[in-house]
Amino acid sequence: MFSDWTVIDLSIGIEDGPASEPYPPRIDRMDHREGAESLAENLREMDLDVTADDFPDGTALAWEEIEAITHTGTHMDAPYHYGAESEGAPARRIDDVPLKWCLGEAVVLDVRHLDAGEEISVEDIENALDALDYELTGEEIVLLQTGADELWGEASYLTEFPGMGREATRFLVEQGVRVIGTDAYGFDKPFAEMGRRFEESGDSGELWPAHLAGRDGEYCQIEKMANLGELPRKTEVPLIAQPIKVEDGSAGWVRPLAVFPEVVA
């Protein structure tokens, strides 16, 4: 039955040293010959007489060693990322996030008309919902389509996107939304824009306001999504987005999949 389903990958993977990551991951690769040598060495440490040449064709298993932060590639931020407490209680780590939050129907809000560095407001959210003739129930996963994923692979990916404001984030969370995603590098505005606004005003509320809103209302965010433009519709999008379990983690890698139980054009 699954052969007729349409699956759309909404993620960016973990790559070796991309310009679009401020803390680029490193991937060290071991080929099949090196795998044979490593496994043979492991067996010799058990006092077993095995060499790499004893494997068929002198080759064995390939694998990779990855050095990366949990916020590399498409990932989900847990409430603990925003602060030690959320809603007056210890904030959930990524391995505590209820899986049911990460499975459901998504609604995609188009904010591509906003300029890089702009703050997404409550009015922007409401206008995007009106454009879809859609009213939130609180059960949805909300995805923000900024169009920034088209810049993946370039340094400009880190700076050319609008970001959520505190009020817009609180608006969605107060509606009952528990997971909010974006196809941009970050959920807040670009780093330099937040810093500029802080220097101008001296208001600490200009620093990561959308993230820190999670201290007052519990929610998770998915950053660095992709391919929202490939979805056949913007509402009632069946979404699976469970994060990897990282013990006491502030985030976990995730590969969000839009799964349509029908063939879609």
CA 216, chain centre distance (Å): 21
CA 241, chain centre distance (Å): 9
First-last CA distance in the chain: 18
pLDDT reported for residue 261 = 85
pLDDT reported for residue 2 = 66
- Report domain 75-260's class: alpha beta
Buried residues in 196-221 as b, exposed as e (16+ CB within 10 A): ebeeeeeeeebebbbbbbbbbbbbbb
Residue type for 136, please? L
Give the span between the Cα atoms of 183 and 125, in whole angstroms: 16
Q: Provide CB contacts within 8 A for 140, sequence distance 6+.
A: 104, 105, 106, 107, 177
**Model confidence over 183-196: pLDDT tens digits?**
999 999 999 999 99
Give the span between the Cα atoms of 72 and 15, in whole angstroms: 9
Q: Which residues of the chain have pLDDT under 70?
A: 1-2, 263-265
Q: Provide CB contacts within 8 A for 100, sequence distance 6+.
A: none
pTM across the whole model: 0.94
CATH 3.50.30.50 segments of the chain? 75-260
In this structure, what is the dihedral angle of CA atoms 12, 15, 20, 22, given to the nearest 10 degrees? Answer: 120
pLDDT reported for residue 1 = 59
Residue written as token pair 């969370």: 173
pLDDT reported for residue 153 = 95
